[in-house]
Amino acid sequence: MPDKKSKQSSSTKIIFLGDVSGALGRKGVKEIVPLWQKKYQPDIFIANIENLAHNKGVTLKTLEEIYQSGVRLYTGGNHIWKKYDISQLARETDYQIACPANDLRTPEKYLYQSVDINGQKLIVINLNGRTFMNEDNLSNPFLKIDELLQSIDKNSNILIDIHAEATSEKRALAFYLDGRVSAVLGTHTHVPTADAQILQAGTGYISDVGMIGAFPSILGITKEIIIKKFLTDTQIIHDLPTAGQIEVNAVLLEIDNLNHKTSKIEHLREIID
């Protein structure tokens, strides 16, 4: 975990955990964090938690569970509002959550998060894409990030979680921000993509980190239920497996603390029995 008294090091190492989906997702985090802490020695674990409580939203119990697992900073998405009033959460707790900054419902406390790691500031921002999302509360994420970057200390490592359906929107944002932020990581679709890369001006990028949840499943949900939905064109109630294998998807990032560019990006994937 970050040590605020340590001298500044040459780089910041981050493991960003993809969408944590339900009870099996939380179990996967609990099992993988100590293993990856020993293997990769990251300075911080960050996780997308919009699906933390039964695949939609968060609760105090599930937040405390993920905190006790060793994850200290969190990002959200379009489902972060489903189970608990986020404004109330902001007033009553000190969890470091970056909710979608371009969602009109996001409290100021959750517009972005800042943490000092070994003498270097890390800023984490969450944005929600608009293409195919069917959400009414979203402003333009491109214009919102421009606005935020005007007020953020330029001598910071800046990580963006773009929670979006369309890969075109994610890639457009990454190219738009290339050289202005340290990394742009896609979330939301739960399916990892094979395009982890460092863009021309030094911004790390991946279209989707993937999820942490039931394996095999369809986006963390019991596969038979989703298959039935496509066969019958009917509404279904989501059911999540409570036992079995767990897939864990994450990104390992190394950011140069002098130029604030990504020096290494690697997708991590493990199946836990």
Task: Give all domains of the chain, ordered by start, each with its CATH number.
Answer: 11-272 (3.60.21.10)
Which of the residues 79, 188, 260, 267 is marked catalytic?
79
Judge whether residue 168 has pLDDT over 50: yes
Per-residue pLDDT of 53-85, as tens digits, reads 988 899 999 999 999 999 999 999 999 998 888
Distant-in-sequence contacts of 110-113, Cβ < 8 A, 24+ apart: 110/76, 110/86, 111/148, 112/148, 112/152, 113/73
* Active site annotation includes 79: yes
**How many whole angstroms separate alpha carbon 251 and alpha carbon 164?**
17
Question: How confident is the model at residue 3, as a pLDDT?
Answer: 44
Instruction: Please state the rounded mean pLDDT for residues 122-138.
Output: 95
Question: How confident is the model at residue 83, as a pLDDT?
Answer: 87
Name the pTM for this structure: 0.94
Q: Can the peptide bond before residue 216 be classed as cis, meaning omega within 30 degrees of 0?
A: yes
**How many whole angstroms separate alpha carbon 218 and alpha carbon 201?**
36
Instruction: Please state the rounded mean pLDDT for residues 193-209.
Output: 98
CB 210 within 8 A of CB 18: yes
- Nearest alpha carbon to residue 124 among 168, 78, 160, 90: 160
CB 9 within 8 A of CB 250: no
Judge whether residue 214 has pLDDT over 70: yes
**How many whole angstroms separate alpha carbon 219 and alpha carbon 173?**
24
CA distances from 132 to 31, 136, 210 (A): 34, 12, 18
